[in-house]
Structure 1
Amino acid sequence: MAVDRRYTERESPSDRRVSTVGRRHGEHMFHRLVDLGIALSAERDHEKLMEMILLEAKEIYRADGGTLYLVTDDEQGLSFQIMRNDSLDIAMGGTTGKSIPFPPVPLYRDGAANMNNVASAVYHNRAPSNIEDAYEEKSYDFSGTKKFDETTGYRSKSFLTVPMINTEGEVTGVLQLINARDDGDGTVPFQPALQPMIEALTSQAAVALENQLLIQQQRKLWDSLIEMIAASIDDKSPYTGGHCQRVPVITKLLTQAACDSTDGMFAEFTLNSDEWYELHVAAWLHDCGKVTTPEYVVDKASKLETIYNRIHEIRTRFEVLRRDAEIECLKAKLDGSDPAEADRVFARKVAELEEEYAFVADANVGGEFMNDADVDRLKAIGGRTWTRHFDKARGLSPVEAMRAKANPPAKPPVEEPLLGDLPEHIVGKYNQGELYNLGIRRGTLTAEERETINDHIVVTLKMLESLPFPKKMRRVPEYAGGHHEKMDGTGYPRGLVKEDMSIPARIMAIADIFEALTAADRPYKKAKTVSESLKIMSFMVKDRHIDPDLFALFLRSNVWKDYADQYLEPFQIDPVDIHDYLPAAELLTEKAG
């Protein structure tokens, strides 16, 4: 009969039973480690993740205390992240909300690696340290530990300190356990047999932290990018500065009010953290398409403005006509005409020119509605002629020269209209004709320029829909692209009706309008007061342009007031009775309370 030499030489029956128990314990710990690895990879909260790492390590060794350090951003120290001590009832850092009052452990002193502290030494050595009794250890300075013990009456004895090394081979943190306990809660050394479990745990933890930090860095980069885009759009025009940054404020205030509602149609409305972030991104990028909108169109503060205000050219022509009238007066006197009569004729012409110029200049501002009579008068004034004596085909840019070659200007001297719609005024899709622009009925924008302004939302949708948003952010284009839609389907760019739009998209429409009405930095209008803005919005509700239920919530929740107190000028904040602006009951849904 063959003898199993492995059994006779290495194990007695009793040893074999112990070995079996050990294997079962090892299998249990293995499965536990696997489960923990899955849990670590799934945990998204940074503070909970670090707590999970430390608490699990404490549990494996039944350690009384423990600390988790992370390497500081400047890689000069180990910052305290989590501290636990069961005997002293200490719980700081992590989700406790209690800050740890200790400075980072320095990794270097006087330019050399700090090998006096066990945690910093483990960082530099990239290897664990298992100390049976700190008071007898000569390799490290435990004077701080001993001082802590004197103060608290504690006895720090066994220490296990393990580096956390990520997939790049970098030490990202250090895990330290204090005072392993036996079944009777006595302090014992940390068993070397279990140390590989802790090392495996720290390895998993380092990878989990690395992944989470990478995700956080990517999100930080993404947030910085979208805020940079919004800031660049605001900086692009001195007249719309802050719009892209203020609309998210109103959006979030009104969304929070909807989430806080306990009755009515918003009682069931809520957003989780992913949906809040989705809305955050959409709000910041709602006008990203404006990066393609020409500055002079966005900034057009007067009807004749392109890169500059062309009223100066027209004023010069009036000056020429006045000079011509003065020359005619002097010539008449030299020819023997009655000087007094010549002066009267000159004065009459000057008064007429001054009055006509005043009319043209006022029309250029765009503050009043232009009726048919006003447009006809502009044409009559524009019918005056003046004599050009210099060649306007000289001194042009290459592009202007090409346009002049296609439509050569008449050679001087030539009579030209005082206000002209000339071939050179057609630039691409834009008509820069002087009569055409001065005849704008309301505001300062031509139909083509207004179309360009409106097209920013088309470009916004095109830009956002081209981005590979993850599933949890797939509604960003819908939220961002709907702030110019109207509840009756007359908005743009898609002509959506209320039922086609989500609540966040409808919220952004209200936020965009209220910010635009109350903005004090627009070139084409004066800053409106809160009451004026709410009155206009109440009319928009009646016209079915904005959501009546959300506007009622906007009023009742004081979102308008919270925003005004923080962002508006004092003169804009006037007395408001919200009942003057609340939508009529028949405009609200049946679910509204």
Structure 2
Amino acid sequence: MAGEILHNLQKTLDTTLESFLDLVGCDGGSVYTVRKNSDSEEILKFEAMITRSINLRGVPEHLRSLEFQIDDSSVAGRTAADRKPVLLNLISGEVSPRVGDMLNYPTRNIFSGPLITPRGDLVGVVQLLNKLPQDETPFDPYATSPLPNFDKKDERLFSVIAGQAALAIENSFLLEEQERLIKGFVDACVTAIEARDPVTCGHSVRVSNYTVGLAEAVNRTDRGPLRQTYFAPAQMRELRFAAMLHDIGKIGIKEEVLQKEKKLFPWELELISMRLKLMRTQMMLRQQIDGGDYEPAISRIDSVWERLVLANEPWVPSPIAFEVVKELRSLRVPFDTGEIVTALTDEEAARLSIARGSLSASERIEIEGHVSKTFDILKMIPWSRGLEQVADIASKHHEKLDGSGYPNGLTAEQIPPQARMMTICDIFDALTSDRPYKLALPVSRALDIIAANVKAGKLDGAYFDVFVQAQLHELLIPSAGLALQRA
């Protein structure tokens, strides 16, 4: 979409220039727009050019970086500085503007006029070159015959459309600025997401790139059930932003849950360690006092600690963890105060007994709640035209076609195509990325898992087939960096 906006600006500039050439009657011309350079100084940027006699349309590559100061150092600069037309009726070869020299295009007279909006803002300068004779004889820029002079009549003709042309260009500028604002906002949101959940750094960008890549591949498909499916540029833009923001709801999840790497929280493991050390110290004191043999019990504590550290890993199977929990629950040491210290609380035992991964049932529900939060956050934003469905698309990337997904258990007919594509890409990136609780899977294994979900009726097989056929899994997509790709 950014590319489409730039295209629209260029089209506006070209149309504006064509109108002036036709109205005043000139062979060529150029448009310079008011921009800001790296020092935030206003300059004139060379953005459009037409020379009909030599069939040149568009700014040549070697001139695209050309800029002019707004001062008397150039004709365009003087026009902008004085905010009034400059008419130069030249003798061939006596004076030639810089651009004409670079193109070997003889310029015999120039009309340079400012583009000022009805509100009084200068947006650019139009230069018209080589006024044509009235006899409609084909113009030869290299001939030496005299050309009509620019005059006050040309100034009046220029002023007829200059204000409207300036307004059209200003509107195109506003669209550019709006796009930069939206992109900046999205980048800032992704930065916030990754600051809350650094483990998944780069995930939002990768999912966005995969998803838009899949949509582009669908547009190229000429066979199968998706051969008539097409995503317009505006939909691509909406899809990109939705994919970038699909996890924004994570900013509303508690940090310790979001970043939980193991079954126990670090402070829980520390508390268990302190209790075991306390038990060990108590037994050693008793051994010194009554001379009893407490070495087996002390060795047991040392041994169970090592196995506890292992059982705390999210990849350790539940039978091993259950045995450790059982042994820890059996460790009970009486103290002289009459208090009996146990190694494990009920809550800690429940966490260590997590069958898969690092999250308890309640923590998983909390994490899954990020999708509802994503919808709530994005729905509050007054999206501009063409982005109205961002919240709806972004919040459905965990729904499944058979109704087994979350948060709303939607079925196939309730899930838009954009969300179906994003779900596949989100799962693929999650499977092929390292996490503290798992290693990245090989691409082949990840594709097998997604294929199994397709077979089970959870994911859309048509979009997955395109994903595989287009070999999107082989794309070199950076794992870091927040800059949005140009649409």
TM-score bracket for the superposition, by shorter chain length:
0.7 to 0.9
Secondary structure of the corresponding residue to residue 174 of structure 1: strand
* 1:357 aligned residue: 305
> Is 1:485–1:491's contact at 8 Å kept on the other side of the alignment?
yes
Q: Give yes or no for the alignment of 1:316 onto 2:274.
A: yes
> Is 1:160–1:176's contact at 8 Å kept on the other side of the alignment?
yes
Q: Structure 2 vs 1, CA of residues 91 and 98 (structure 1 numbering), >3 Å: closer, same or farther?
A: farther
Distance 2:28 2:447 in 1: 60
How far residue 180 of structure 1 moved from its aligned partner, in angstroms, is 1.2
Q: Structure 2 vs 1, CA of residues 259 and 357 (structure 1 numbering), >3 Å: closer, same or farther?
A: same
How far residue 254 of structure 1 moved from its aligned partner, in angstroms, is 1.4
> Is 1:66–1:175's contact at 8 Å kept on the other side of the alignment?
yes
* 2:141 aligned residue: none
Q: Structure 2 vs 1, CA of residues 258 and 153 (structure 1 numbering), >3 Å: closer, same or farther?
A: closer
Which stretch shows the higher mean deviation, 553-562 or 53-62? 553-562
Q: Give yes or no for the alignment of 1:117 onto 2:69.
A: no
Match of 2:387 among 450, 455, 473: 473
How far residue 502 of structure 1 moved from its aligned partner, in angstroms, is 2.0
Match of 1:158 among 109, 121, 129: 109
Which stretch shows the higher mean deviation, 445-454 or 226-235? 226-235
* 2:349 aligned residue: 435
Q: Give yes or no for the alignment of 1:52 onto 2:4.
A: no
Q: Structure 2 vs 1, CA of residues 43 and 346 (structure 1 numbering), >3 Å: closer, same or farther?
A: closer
Distance 2:97 2:15 in 1: 25
Q: Give yes or no for the alignment of 1:266 onto 2:226.
A: yes
The residue type equivalent to 1:92 in the other structure is: G
The residue type equivalent to 1:292 in the other structure is: G
Which stretch shows the higher mean deviation, 296-305 or 164-173? 164-173
Q: Structure 2 vs 1, CA of residues 150 and 494 (structure 1 numbering), >3 Å: closer, same or farther?
A: closer
1:77-105 Cα shifts (integer Å, max 9, x gaps): 32221222233443332xxx745267322
Q: Structure 2 vs 1, CA of residues 530 and 361 (structure 1 numbering), >3 Å: closer, same or farther?
A: same
Match of 1:558 among 460, 467, 471: 471
* 2:189 aligned residue: 229
The residue type equivalent to 1:363 in the other structure is: A
* 2:143 aligned residue: none
> Is 2:30–2:127's contact at 8 Å kept on the other side of the alignment?
yes
Identity of aligned residues (%): 26
1:440-451 aligned at under 5 Å gives the runs: 440-451=354-365
Distance 1:249 1:146 in 2: 42
Match of 1:106 among 69, 80, 90: 69
Match of 2:442 among 529, 553, 575: 529
* 2:204 aligned residue: 244
* 1:587 aligned residue: none
Q: Give yes or no for the alignment of 1:278 onto 2:238.
A: yes
How far residue 198 of structure 1 moved from its aligned partner, in angstroms, is 1.2
* 2:420 aligned residue: 506
Secondary structure of the corresponding residue to residue 87 of structure 1: helix
Gaps of 5+ in 1: 1-41, 108-113, 137-141, 334-341, 390-411, 422-432, 570-593
1:392-428 Cα shifts (integer Å, max 9, x gaps): xxxxxxxxxxxxxxxxxxxx8843321113xxxxxxx
Match of 1:541 among 437, 443, 454: 454
> Is 2:307–2:324's contact at 8 Å kept on the other side of the alignment?
no
> Is 2:396–2:415's contact at 8 Å kept on the other side of the alignment?
yes
* 2:345 aligned residue: 420
Q: Give yes or no for the alignment of 1:300 onto 2:263.
A: no
Q: Give yes or no for the alignment of 1:210 onto 2:170.
A: yes
The residue type equivalent to 1:118 in the other structure is: V
* 2:97 aligned residue: 145
Distance 1:220 1:103 in 2: 23
How far residue 63 of structure 1 moved from its aligned partner, in angstroms, is 0.3
* 2:140 aligned residue: none
Secondary structure of the corresponding residue to residue 519 of structure 1: coil
Greater Rg over alpha carbons, structure: 1
1:393-408 aligned at under 5 Å gives the runs: none
How far residue 471 of structure 1 moved from its aligned partner, in angstroms, is 4.6
1:15-54 aligned at under 5 Å gives the runs: 45-54=8-17
Distance 1:237 1:419 in 2: 29
1:106-150 Cα shifts (integer Å, max 9, x gaps): 22xxxxxx32532222211111123333679xxxxx744399579
> Is 1:365–1:444's contact at 8 Å kept on the other side of the alignment?
yes
Secondary structure of the corresponding residue to residue 473 of structure 1: coil
1:195-219 Cα shifts (integer Å, max 9, x gaps): 2231232211211111111121111
Q: Give yes or no for the alignment of 1:384 onto 2:350.
A: no
> Is 1:43–1:49's contact at 8 Å kept on the other side of the alignment?
no
Gaps of 5+ in 2: 138-145, 481-487
> Is 1:181–1:188's contact at 8 Å kept on the other side of the alignment?
yes
Secondary structure of the corresponding residue to residue 554 of structure 1: helix
Q: Give yes or no for the alignment of 1:173 onto 2:124.
A: yes
The residue type equivalent to 2:152 in the other structure is: P
Distance 1:287 1:450 in 2: 15
Q: Give yes or no for the alignment of 1:463 onto 2:374.
A: no
Distance 1:542 1:101 in 2: 53
CA RMSD in angstroms comes to: 2.8
How far residue 508 of structure 1 moved from its aligned partner, in angstroms, is 0.4
Q: Structure 2 vs 1, CA of residues 152 and 467 (structure 1 numbering), >3 Å: closer, same or farther?
A: closer
* 2:408 aligned residue: 494
Q: Structure 2 vs 1, CA of residues 471 and 353 (structure 1 numbering), >3 Å: closer, same or farther?
A: same
* 2:44 aligned residue: 78
Match of 1:370 among 274, 297, 318: 318
> Is 2:47–2:64's contact at 8 Å kept on the other side of the alignment?
no
* 1:485 aligned residue: 399
Secondary structure of the corresponding residue to residue 365 of structure 1: coil
How far residue 478 of structure 1 moved from its aligned partner, in angstroms, is 2.4
How far residue 45 of structure 1 moved from its aligned partner, in angstroms, is 0.3
Distance 2:102 2:296 in 1: 104
Distance 1:66 1:453 in 2: 60
Q: Structure 2 vs 1, CA of residues 388 and 441 (structure 1 numbering), >3 Å: closer, same or farther?
A: farther
Which stretch shows the higher mean deviation, 282-291 or 309-318? 309-318
Kindly tell me the number of residue pairs found equivalent between the two proteins: 464
* 2:58 aligned residue: 92
How far residue 452 of structure 1 moved from its aligned partner, in angstroms, is 0.7
How far residue 192 of structure 1 moved from its aligned partner, in angstroms, is 2.2
Greater relative CO, 1 or 2 (CA 8 Å, sep 6+): 2
The residue type equivalent to 2:288 in the other structure is: L
1:32-56 Cα shifts (integer Å, max 9, x gaps): xxxxxxxxxx997011111111111
Distance 2:294 2:335 in 1: 22
Secondary structure of the corresponding residue to residue 63 of structure 2: coil
The residue type equivalent to 1:256 in the other structure is: E
* 2:294 aligned residue: 346
